[in-house]
Chain A
Amino acid sequence: MFSALVIFSLSASAAQPDLTERALRLDQNIQALKDEIIEFNREAQAVENETLVPDHLRLSVYLSVGVGGLLLTEAAITVDDKAPEIYRYDETDARALLDDAAVQRVLITTVMPGPHRIRMTVNGNFANAKPGDAPITQSYEAIFDKDDQEAELEFRLTRSSRFGGDLKLTMKQWKVKP
């Protein structure tokens, strides 16, 4: 009677070669479709960008976090007198932002060439914060000059020195090498 359990038996897939073959054939087909979807998105996104946020008007704002264990809850960006754009984080995307090499594009919009005021405010908590600990809040405001190329600004939240110190939010402007 105790044949019900054969521990070292082959997996069920070995007994169903047709299912295995079908799975592989379908996987190949879906890989080809995935490839096409990526290329479609690339082309569609390029047309959308060209029309709605053309290079000469485009402003891209990025945010990076260089403080271990700091999980953002919210980032708010205000350009000139426009209403602030607010991004709210869940734990997954807050953790994703802790990767050293990562930046998050928090805003893509259009602005006319010339000087503009931008303000970034971030809120968050340390992963090991105790209930009742005050949330972390940092702000930075600056003027940047928009020319006829895409403007790319990165806000970075770091500590004031490599060995610790207060938190600080800074801004850097990027330009693609011609």
Chain B
Amino acid sequence: MMRRALVSLLLAAPTLAFAADVYVPGSPEDPHVREAQYLLRDHRTLSAAIELRLSDKKNDALRMPEAYQWRLAESYLAFGLRDRAEEIYRSLAGSSSDKDRIASAQLDVAEFDYQRGYLAEARATLYKMREVLPESAVVRWQDLLARVLLAESRYGEAADVLTELNNAGNQSSYTRFNLGVALVNDGRTAQGQTVLDRVGRLVPDDLEDLALRDRANTSLGWHFLQNQQGGTAKPIFSRVRVEGPFSNRALLGLGWAELAPQGDRVVKAEVGDDKPDADPFTTFSTLGVLVRPGFLEDDIFKRAGLRAFSLKKASREETDALQRALVPWVELISRDPMDTAVQEAWLAIPFTLDRLGAYTQALQYYEKAVGVLENAHDRMDKALESIKRGRMVETIVRREIDSEAGRDWKLRDLPDAPETYFLQSLLAEHRFQEALKNYRDVRMMSRNLEAWQQRLATVERSASNTDRADMRVDQVIERQRAQWKAPWAGLKIQLHGDEKLSVPGATTPAAPSQPAVTSQLQLSGVPARFNGVREQTSTLHARIGGLREQLAQAGAEQARLLQDMSVAELEGQQRQIERYLVEARFALARLYDRQIKGELDAQ
């Protein structure tokens, strides 16, 4: 019957079985190593690490083939297990001839350290690499070391790292921006300005380039403002796009640039890698175009409800400057009042009107400003309450609760919570993102253990299922034999032939009365404990209990850390609003006082 079934199977099938290909465990051909690669690419970092650990039967990763070690180290690092990864990379550095890959791995570890805030460790790793740095890793090494040094406020060293190899042509625009910041902060102001100016003129290829360009121009513009060089700041701010993450700050600066001392003409410094400056004009949607007289829709003053006012106080030159300053600020107050730049514009406008002698309108604007700022303060209170309830973080982590992406996880969009708007800059910072990743990982691990409780229960049920077919003892013994290796396997025993043969009778024969030597057989001791499926699952259940408790505690501490970071950020912003409110109310009181005294002329 069996034979007939097999024959029909063979006849029906298009392809027959063939000889198997053999693989060495842990080699690049090993399906477990390749499956781990798939899991890594699928952002399932925990599963990748487990898959590899499971295939290491001797539980000694450092003795496995290189392919296995590389993959395991990558999985560990992706899952956020930095120390484990580094241990393997260190071992590989001693055995592998692939220096480029070793350098790239060390840079990955240093990048992890930088993002998590282990700055001293990142710096040590990077400086240690310097002597054996392959050409392929130079640019990335420079960029990362400069970022680490900037984070530590070691500006001079950062600038040296980026300039000493004289390879500006290979560096990215981001690296050049960092160089500009490092040079300015190190006191090499003229060189820093030149580098930032060049980044601010780059011809953009994509939205990221545009954002970097805007950032460089906004930074440089405010730098000139702080150095009393309003005249130089104006064209720089004018390069910033009308809509973008830096446009509000640039609009605010553009107004102040009209009122600040105009300063001397700035002479560009040579930085040794000069290329011709690109034309900064690449789009019509820049602030320079927006605030150009006559270009803007109708009359921006009319839009803001500013009637014509008589000028009593300022000189002609100052009046012109004040009126020009109002142009970007009037545009700015039409934007979201929760932005600090917009809030400052709400104060800057009545300040300017007051200077122009338009007291009534100044008074009205201060009153509106107080309303806007009080509203912002209330919203900030609500945001603080919401943070304390942990809603925003909870919403973020619940979206992809089972994701094993580890350190590759990215916050794709922001949740709709009251605090989200105020925390945008904090949410983009490594310190917050990395803490958030850890919090997510803790939650994911708790769910992993929760799932194991069910899975182990299934294992127990299966092990105690008496309906299973009986096993054939001869087959079990055969399988065990196939896996068993004699402890003396491989041991070589050599016999030596004696050089002399004793004369017969010269040796002492055994006494006839002596009993023959016989080997004594003894029963071996009973094992102290049996470690069957039931015992193993019972131990695993107990471990789940302990681990879940530790994870719950770690999760609570991590959530508190995220909350404290958010509260510190919001309280800083709230203090700023309170300062503005004090200024607005004080200015209002002053104007009322002068009105009562009849010092203000009617408009």
Contact = CB atoms under 8 A, between A and B. Distances in A.
**Do A and B originate from a single complex?**
yes
Interface of A: 1-2, 4-8, 10-14, 16, 19-20, 22-24, 26-27, 29-31, 33-52, 56, 60, 62, 64, 92-93, 95-97, 99, 101-105, 114-115, 117, 140-145, 148-149, 152, 154, 171-177
B143 interface: no
A96 B544 CA distance: 31
A58 to B, nearest CB: 12
A40 B568 contact: no
Contact of A143 (B16, B226, B561): B16
Nearest to A151: B20
21 contacts: A7-B219, A12-B568, A19-B561, A19-B565, A19-B568, A30-B554, A31-B80, A33-B551, A36-B547, A41-B452, A43-B536, A45-B54, A47-B533, A51-B463, A52-B462, A62-B35, A102-B35, A117-B13, A141-B15, A174-B22, A177-B23
What interface size band does chain B fall in?
Answer: 35 or more
B576 interface: yes
Interface string B549-588: 0110010011001001100110010001000000100000
B197 interface: no
Given A23-B561, A144-B17, 17 more contacts: A1-B351, A4-B340, A23-B116, A23-B435, A26-B558, A33-B547, A37-B46, A43-B536, A45-B50, A45-B54, A96-B42, A102-B37, A114-B6, A142-B16, A149-B482, A173-B21, A177-B22
B351 A44 contact: no
A92 to B, nearest CB: 6
B116 A52 contact: no
Contacts of A51: 459, 462-463, 533
Nearest to B153: A10
Given A5-B222, A27-B434, A177-B25, A152 B17 contact: no
Contacts of B30: 176
B309 interface: no
Interface stretch (B131-139, B288-296, B386-394, B438-446): B438-446
Contacts of B249: 5
Contacts of B256: 1-2
Given A8-B185, A142-B17, A144-B17, A174 B35 contact: no
B37 A101 contact: yes
A95 B38 CA distance: 9
B361 to A, nearest CB: 19
B347 interface: yes
A174 B223 contact: no
Nearest to A41: B50
Contacts of B222: 5-7
A44 B80 contact: no
Contacts of A47: 456, 459, 533, 536-537, 540
A171 to B, nearest CB: 7
Contact of A1 (B18, B19, B344, B544): B344
Contacts of B16: 142-143
B269 interface: no
Interface string B467-489: 00000000100110010000000
B482 A13 contact: no
A175 B14 CA distance: 23
Most buried by B among A27, A34, A101: A34
Interface stretch (B81-89, B206-214, B411-419, B493-501): B81-89
B252 A2 contact: yes
Nearest to B452: A44
B561 A38 contact: no
B547 A62 contact: no
Interface in B423-462: 426, 429, 431, 434-435, 438, 441-442, 445, 448-449, 452, 455-456, 458-459, 462
Contact of B442 (A33, A97, A141, A152): A33
Given A52-B458, A143-B10, A176 B23 contact: yes
Nearest to A60: B31
B356 interface: no
B201 interface: no
B185 A13 contact: no
Contacts of B459: 47-48, 51-52
Contact of A140 (B15, B80, B253): B15
B234 interface: no
B181 interface: yes
Contacts of B550: 33
A27 B24 contact: no
B117 interface: yes
A47 B54 CA distance: 11
